[in-house]
Amino acid sequence: MALLLRRLKDCTSFGSTEGDLIPTTPRVTTSAGDEPVATVIDGKSIAEEIRSGIAEEVCRMKDTIGKVPGLAVILVGQRKDSQSYVRNKIKACQEVGITSLMAELPEDCEEDEVLSAVSSFNDNPSVHGILVQLPLPQHMDEERILNVVSLDKDVDGFHPLNMGNLAMRGREPLFVPCTPKGCIELLLRYGVEIMGKKAVVIGRSNIVGMPTSLLLQRHHATVSTVHAFTRNPKEITREADIVVSAIGVANIVRGDWLKPGAVVLDVGINPVEDLSSEYGYRIIGDVCFEEAVQVASAITPVPGGVGPMTIAMLLSNTLDSSKRAYGFS
Amino acid sequence: MALLLRRLKDCTSFGSTEGDLIPTTPRVTTSAGDEPVATVIDGKSIAEEIRSGIAEEVCRMKDTIGKVPGLAVILVGQRKDSQSYVRNKIKACQEVGITSLMAELPEDCEEDEVLSAVSSFNDNPSVHGILVQLPLPQHMDEERILNVVSLDKDVDGFHPLNMGNLAMRGREPLFVPCTPKGCIELLLRYGVEIMGKKAVVIGRSNIVGMPTSLLLQRHHATVSTVHAFTRNPKEITREADIVVSAIGVANIVRGDWLKPGAVVLDVGINPVEDLSSEYGYRIIGDVCFEEAVQVASAITPVPGGVGPMTIAMLLSNTLDSSKRAYGFS
């Protein structure tokens, strides 16, 4: 994602999706009149709770078998956003006692150098998770590189075999992709019933939208996937009990896109110009928060909603992977 | 699928789904008044056309490189319906010049015997497609057996890696499962636009419903999947431009489940008692044909709709696989 900044009026703009870039406190609108105001789902606190549980488990593992989980990250090139995501992931590892290893390669390196970095992490028994930070430079075959990541270290869950097992009933993927897993975790922890509910997922990317649809369906929601070719996204979204937006268009989901009482998870991470901010920009979601909070029963803010959960789930997947590798339970 | 027969009044009953069992001519209702009557999609003719094209390709392959495609079928046990399906598949192979091999194993054989049959077909260079007829006997681990089928011979497309590649944008599965592929082929050949249309798939089985949803989404439809936990299937289905029913419940989709002008593909194959028939039963679909034909713009009959397409697509996948194996184009 390029940090493409655009001027915007409130509740109209464009952007893209990933883990939170700049953690700041969301602005929660309070109602002026008697209108209902949604519960703001505190992803940051829940993610902290989860991370603290992971830290305890890592301690227990270290005390019991003298081992800790290890996560390896491969970063190619100098994209500021990618560097920031990677930094956040490594910092999060350190905080819970997961060892992190990093391979940094220049933008113009050969594909074979990336492949060889992956292979070396595949062969390293103290590495239990391997992340290739996306996007890779244009000249590289992303599919070829991701296919080389050992299946039992694919903590991102992006391997097609993992996706297939996520799609198929009666099968279990080794890893569930982090952002979708984080979304479901938020719903479960806030006691939102999924089974039998109508869910709309806006966006169908391989890393968020599509696996979120599959995962909601595994939880027996009736899922509709809305995307760029959908003719009446507003009408379809307005029927949903649960809305997950992961399309990377700032403020596209307005208040009148929502059924009163809907639960809204906003995966969008869209940088918009804000000269009053220290960085000259701020991050907003796909959902027009000020409007949605008046209609929804619960909503995630951006930042501080789904974003922190993504990293917590990455740590959780890495811990699970190391437990599998060491036969530790 | 057991050939479980139930008495039923018109447009109410239960059953299950697979390829056509008994090819008979469907009863097409003609309108008494000015009501619109749907085009009946002639899957049988289209499948014949496709099979005839395949036969020509097999001839050309034989003339050019002296090879023909080969399909191996593994049948475990004595289920009448499975035997019938397998017989139809083998007959279809013979008609287009595809060599068929068959391994028949007794109901009480060991799982290892099935695995060894699969392995031997995996190693046989004249076999380009391997079918394990489902369901397998209860005591067998279906997942374990299907996982052994060589990926490049998985003409059913049931391997999770194939499913994952079907789900992911920018990826190509080696094989698309036959019934979903047949459904799309019918839509394309009848000039039904898919992109941007609202599609509802009723059922989410690994072999039909789920991959059909994924495939419709690959063609840029806005897809909703309806299943046993869906609370208002009628209302959801009534919004669809394209309805694919693969839930195996006879006549569950009534006329008032359909939007006027919808295109309806009926994958259901439900045996119901019919003492006037030679076999004592007849096959009906998931859709109440007599009602639906008055509402839809186009509809597949049962039998003679999607069923024949399934076998045609199996032959097509086997041909494609052999072309890949021999580098023949």
DSSP state of B38: P
| Phi, psi angle pair for B226, to nearest 5° | -105, 140
- Domain co-membership, B204 together with B280: yes
Mean pLDDT over A12-27 rounds to 44
Structure tokens at A187: 């719903």
A233-248 exposure pattern, b = at least 16 Cβ within 10 A, e = fewer: beebbbbbbbbbbbbb
Axis-axis angle for helices A178-189, A43-65 (nearest 10): 110
Are residues A121 and A197 located together in one domain of the fold?
no
How far A310 CA sits from the closest chain B CA (Å)? 20
Q: Which residue do the tokens 């809907």 mark?
A: A262
Q: Mark which residues 234-293 of A lie under 8 Å from B by CB.
A: 236
Last residue of a domain, one of B120, B150, B180: B150
Nearest CA in chain B to A235: B239
Please report, for the domain that includes residue A201, its CATH number: 3.40.50.720
Contact B164 A161 (CB under 8 A): yes
Q: Are B167 and B109 in contact (CB under 8 A)?
A: no
Q: Which of B163, B207, B241 to mutate to test the interface with A (most CBs of A within 10 A)?
A: B163
Examine the domain organization and report whether A23 and A95 are in the same domain: no
**Residues A79, A130, A319, A201: is their CA dihedral positive or negative?**
positive
What is the pLDDT averaged over residues B13-38?
50
Residues 145-184 of A with CB under 8 A from B: 159-171
CA B221 to chain CA centroid, Å, is 20
B292 and B207 housed in the same domain? yes
Partners of B132 in the β-ladder = B74
Q: Is B10 inside any structural domain?
A: no
B69 within 8 A of B61, measured Cβ to Cβ: yes
Q: Does B196 touch chain A (CB under 8 A)?
A: yes
Full residue range of the structural domain in which residue A134 is found: 68-151
Q: Do B72 and B23 share a domain, yes or no? A: no
**Per-residue pLDDT at B12:** 52
Measured between beta carbons, the chain A residues lying within 8 angstroms of B198 are 231, 236
- Give the model confidence (pLDDT) of A206-249 as tens digits: 999 999 999 999 999 999 999 999 999 999 999 999 999 999 99
Position A49 in a domain: no
Co-location of A196 and A114 in the same domain: no
Q: What six digits make up the tokens of A282?
A: 């701020």
Take residue A116 and report the two structure tokens written for it: 């060889």
Per-window interface: A 33-92 vs B, CB < 8 A? none
Query: Of all residues in chain A, what percent carry a pLDDT higher than 70?
Result: 89
Quick check: A247 and A209 in contact, CB under 8 A?
A: yes
Quickly count: other Cβ atoms within 10 Å of residue A253's Cβ.
29
Cβ contact (<8 Å) for A204 and B169? yes
Average pLDDT over all residues of chain A: 91
Q: Which two structure tokens, joined as six digits, stand for A64?
A: 């019991």
pLDDT for A81 equals 87
Instruction: Give pLDDT, residue B34.
Output: 53
Using an 8 Å CB-CB cutoff, list chain A residues near B196.
229-231
- Distance, in Å, from the CA atom of B202 to the CA atom of B205, rounded to the nearest integer, reads 10
Residue B162 in domain: no
Is A113 domain-assigned? Answer: yes
Q: Is residue A170 part of a domain?
A: no
A279 falls within a domain: yes
**pLDDT tens profile B251-306:** 999 999 999 999 999 999 999 999 999 889 999 999 999 999 999 999 999 999 99
Q: Evaluate whether residue A231 is within a structural domain.
A: yes
Per residue in A118-136, pLDDT (tens digit) is 999 999 999 999 999 999 9
Instruction: Kindly give, in sequence order, each residue whose CB lies less than 8 Å from that of residue B275, ignoring residues fewer than 6 positions away.
Output: none
Best of B147, B202, B204, B235 to substitute, by most chain A Cβ atoms within 10 angstroms, is B204
R_g over Cα of chain A: 20
**Cross-chain Cβ contact B231/A169 below 8 Å:** no
Q: At what angle do helices B43-65 and B306-326 cross, to 10 degrees?
A: 20
Please check whether residues B85 and B142 belong to one and the same domain.
Answer: yes
- Provide the number of structural domains found in chain B: 2
What's the CA gap between B254 and B11, in Å, rounded? 7
My answer on whether A290 and A217 are in the same domain is yes
Whether B289 and B200 share a structural domain: yes
Which H helix or E strand runs over A268? strand A268-273
Is A54 within a domain?
no
Match 């009848």 to its residue by tokens.
B190
- Boundary of a domain, candidates A103, A124, A151: A151
Where a domain ends, among B123, B150, B177? B150
**Which two structure tokens, joined as six digits, stand for A95?**
């905080």
Say if residue A74 is in the same domain as residue A125: yes
Residues A208 and A141 in one domain: no
CA distances from B297 to A88, B215, B239, B263, B314 (A): 54, 22, 14, 6, 28
Q: Which residue has the tokens 């595949």?
A: A122
Q: Torsions phi, psi of B246, nearest 5?
A: -145, 50
Neighboring chain B residues of A214 at a CB cutoff of 8 Å: 167
DSSP A219: T
Cα pseudo-dihedral A160, A161, A164, A170, rounded to 10: -160
What average pLDDT does the segment A53-73 reach? 98
**Closest by Cα among B239, B199, B265 to B38:** B265
pLDDT score of B25 more than 80: no
CB environment A262-273: b (16+ within 10 A), e (fewer): bbbbbbbbbbbe
Specify the pLDDT at position A22: 41
Q: How many other CB atoms sit within 10 Å of the CB of residue A278?
A: 9
- Distance CA(A303)–CA(A283), nearest Å, equals 7
C-alpha to C-alpha distance for B3 and B45, rounded to whole angstroms:
27
Beta partners for residue B100, in sequence order: B71
CATH number at B82 reads 3.40.50.10860
- Please check the confidence at residue B134 and state whether its pLDDT lies above 50: yes
If asked whether residues B139 and B225 sit together in one domain, one would say no
- DSSP letter at B253 equals B
Structure tokens that stand for A294 in this block: 């008046």
